[in-house]
Structure 1
Amino acid sequence: MNLRIFILAVFFSCVSFAQKDNSSIVDSVKFYLKNSNRNMSDIGGRLKNAKRAKKLSEQYDLDSLKLKSYLELSSIYFDNNKNFKLNINYDDVLLLKDNHKALKLAIRLNDSLSLAEVNKNLGYYYFDISVDSAYYYNNKAEKLYRNLKDNFTTALVLLDIALLQKNDKDYTGSEITSITGISLLDQLDESDEVIMYKSYFYNNLGILFKELSQFDESIKYNLKAIDLKKRLKGNNTMLIDNQKNNLANVYKNSKDYDLAIKYYNEIFENKNLMAERPDFYAIVLDNYAHTLFLSQNYEQLPGLFLKALRICDSIGDSYKTIVINQHLAKYYNFKNQKDSAKYYAYRAKDIAYPNYTDNLLESYAVIAEVEDDSIAVKYYDQYITLNDSLIKNERATRNKFVRIQYETNKIEEENIKITRERMWLLITSIVLIISSFLIYIVIHQRNKNKELKFIQKQQEANEEIYNLMLNQNESVEEARALEKKRISQELHDGVLGRLFGTRLSLDSLNMGTTPDAIKTRGQYINELKTIEHDIRKVSHELNTDFVAGSGFVDIINTLVETQTNVYNLKYKIDHDGAINWDEISNKNKIHIYRIVQESLHNIYKHANAKKIKISFKLKNDVICLLIEDDGSGFDVHKAKAGIGLKNINSRIKEINGTLDVISEKQKGTTIKINIPT
């Protein structure tokens, strides 16, 4: 008992220690996650803490904390790309790998919020890599955030979708998505973030309506975007300047050159623009110069174009030089300086090929414009071929987003169907398991009832034997009482009467000295000797309990005699008189009786014996029961134990005895049973 208590104490101590240790690890991971929060400005420190949280949570397999670590790392990566552009040690491959781990964990943990965030992150990751993948993940994220009633984040995802649609020239789809996003933001309280993202939607609408040449609509949305950006807290000059540039471009395309120049000049009022944002300054300068060219104001040309080109070359931004080169080619062609026009036209074409298809198309048009005859025709044909290809792609794109959404919905429906089927399978399995369990219980209970009935019958049989033994004991006691009564009568009527008569005769002869008296006295003395012998005999008979222990022995003798008569067997029984059966418990005597009975039955049924021998001996307080037969015997190593032998074994175990079976084929069987008294 003390050992058991000690083991339990050690076990619970270990469990308690493990829980404390695990709690310490969880606290450490939470600490690192807290110190990697996006509100902190040190992105390097954030990354370091997030990596520590990831390492610990993976090492100790803490699923929920692993998921938080992956999401935190993603937020650090995207914040860095959006704002800082630092060379942090967390590459694209690792980001993608961790996001897919997070995706699996979120599904397994049934964490809808994390699942939505992972899909949003993957959508943002694929934005510039794969339009189809970006739209697929954004579409899933949008549905999840809608189900979570998170209007703000739903709008953020819709903005990415709208930009994807606009970039692939699905202007109608982009317009619908943008309006949907704005309507969601309109339902929220106006915070800086809500105002900022609403301005982004208006900016997108302004751009796509400009592409559709619906300039009035484009101007309206650009003005709304400028108004919203002016309402933002802090210094928002950069955002406002970007929007003014977009608005000025719309006025330029609508040939309202004066208003376009007005907004360009408002941007140039920022004297630090060149130093702070040289790339943007070059773009605005080129747009301004192009507007002057279109308005036939050539005084500052081509100087402004060349200045913008030099700025882009100095910062290594070749992409932005494509349009500047195109504008220079058109200017020099207008000035009839063909060599310069061709130089800049071909330079624009070379930079645009093969990655910037829209710019390449415009470059072909410019070359066709500045070249002569067959070369112009050649590039015009290339322009037509590329334009046809782009139109086909645009037509395909218009249906692509619908197809992706349809396929996504179809996958979701299939997942719902699979989930439903799994649920029904689970319910069916549970019903089958419960039914099987109930059937097992019923069968087990029936078997138990049969077992109980068998035990009850066995108990009744044991009681019958016990009653038989009691009756036998009563008969023995009755015989004993009768015998004592007989001896008492013998003493009283016989010996005592004779003693009394002899005593009276001796009293009369006590004083006589005659020969006759002496002779007579001698006769009486002999008579006294005879009486003494009779008394000794009676005393001996009284001292010998001739029926002691004879009750159980008689029961065994009766059983063996009855059974052997029925089975047509010859028998011999040896009883050791040293065994005091009165001191043996009734339980042991009942089991001995049953063992002898079962053995006789087995001998008759299986052995084909003619003779049996049964002996009871007492050795070192152990009753040794030996049952021998001259039957056919069997191989004890190969033969399967029957019910009879199993019953004997069961009874021997009940009385803490031992069993040894010795048998050979055609040589009979000997059963040795040792029973402690």
Structure 2
Amino acid sequence: MKRVIGLMLFCLLGFNFGFAQNAQELIDNLKKELKNNPDAKRTAVIYSDLTWYYSKIATDSALNYGEKAIRESVKLSDSTLMAQVYSDIGAVYFMKGDFQNSKANYLKAYKIRKLRNDSRGLAKINNNLANIYEKTQHYKEAMSSFLEALHYFESIKDEKNTSITKGNIGLILLKLKNYPKALQYISAVVKYQEKNNFTEELCVSCLNLGNVYLQMNDTLHALNYYNKSVKACTTVGNQKGISSGFNNIATIKTAQKKSKDALALYEKSKEAREALNSNLDKTNFDLNLAKEYIADKKYDKAKSLLLSTKKVYEKEELNDKLQINYNSLIVVCSNLNQPDSVSFYVNKWAIVNEQLLVDNTVKQTAELETKYQTEKKEKLLQKSKAEIATRELEIKNKNTQFLILGLISLALLIIIYLVYRQQKLKNKQQEQEFELKSAISKIETQNKLQEQRLQISRDLHDNIGSQLTFIISSVDNIKYAFEIQNSKLDNKISSISNFAKSTIIELRDTIWAMNSSEISLEDLQTRIHNFIDKAKEAKEEIQFSFHIEDNLKEIKFPSIEGMNIYRTIQEAINNSIKYAEAKSIKIDIKSNNDVLIITIKDDGKGFDVDKIELGNGINNMKKRIYDINGDIEFITNATTGTEIVIKVKG
């Protein structure tokens, strides 16, 4: 019920639309002016304007013109223009979601404006920096920057910017759960906007104020401001605000057990959501709705929404959203008693989590490289300036005696050689430092991955494992505490107990794989022998044999690959026991030219590959092997039985 939705950026939507309509015309006019070869000052200003106008249309073009504007403003030594361009480039990176580069450019602009005592410019940059800190969850830094900006706007009695800044501070206080302070700030913003009839801004602010009241369990005031938000959003056509407002009201009605009213409101929220232009906005809304269903224990509805959102996030490769999606599916499938799905999504979650760590490492490495290249360019620029100054000096002193020119030239050559030698030594030192940082980063990443694997395995063992153990104990107590005369009921209870026990075994296998960074063939052999021993207890008449070449036992696989191979062999043996009516099952592992060949053969009745409808077992075997870039072949007939050949790179 207490789902808080922050929407302060919605007040920019109308501006962006109007801006996009006129930007192309302005860009075309500026490009025409460039063709007339204006002077250096005007050229730099045009590049700066193109950076800003392109920012809402094509960010790559905006950054291209931003670099040109910086070069021209440096040549002119125009600090005012340089500060403006750095600020515009910071805004472009913010729109791209690259908060690191956005922050770096805003700080460059801040440094220049600080030297120029540009208080208004500093206040605007503080607002922008605070938005970056808020996005990266550095709330203390965000609050500090917002308060510094607020102090300036209040000092010059700028009511509009004061109101916007107070609203942003109120949202941070809401996230920090300081509800009385959040109420104080956002209430002041709403009063100012109501006084000045700022309908578009009220659409957002009333929704935020409703969220504050909801967190304070004041549903009466929450409903009042949600209704005000819906009314304002409807007036300005803000579909996302309308959808959020109806959804939050419906949440309150659900908590009040007014299901009929809640369903009607959810339907209105859905209609507004479907009117959104952004498919990603709809998907994000569905993900939040799925979380609501999980909280209300409506697991079937939650699963349906999560599966649909998963497709969008996988297509868009949004790993941060997939991490939340897979984690929610683990919870849902666990409550729906679907252990195979739990195991599947645990693996999916682990892979995405690992990819996020790798992406973060790559991003940090790229940032170090960018920093290194920037420093290198600045040094080359300084060197170029020195060479230009030297040439100008030579032109001014062209009538100087030949001997003096010769001495000056010799001195310059010596200086250049010494600078070159010093630069070469410095570059070598920087390369060594970079290699050391990369090595340290790689080690830290590996340690973090191992810690996360151990944490996941502990959580699986302590939570799901203990729950399954409780289920087995409870079922066995029922079976032995009561004299059950109904054989079907007795068989059903035994089936539940056996299913839970097999699930614990599979869970332990998964934990074993997650706790191991690598799995050797010898580990697999031991694991498969244990499985065969259990199979013999159920089918004593079947003869098992297992052979592996001694020189292959030390071959190691990553934990996910090793687990896929083990599960595939396990499934093959299970199929032979259940369906083939086999008298003997042989497992053989050998190698041929760095290719590991695993053969599972039985002497059962076989099956027709072309006629039989393949079940999840065979499809899962294929998928597991294809996922590790291997190959699997099924050779079967009624006379010789079934032979499954798996080939993976050893």
Normalising by the residue count of structure 1, what TM-score does the alignment of the two structures yield?
A: 0.47
Bigger Rg, which one: 1
Greater relative contact order (Cα < 8 A, sep 6+): 2
Could you state the TM-score of these two structures normalised by the residue count of structure 2? Answer: 0.48
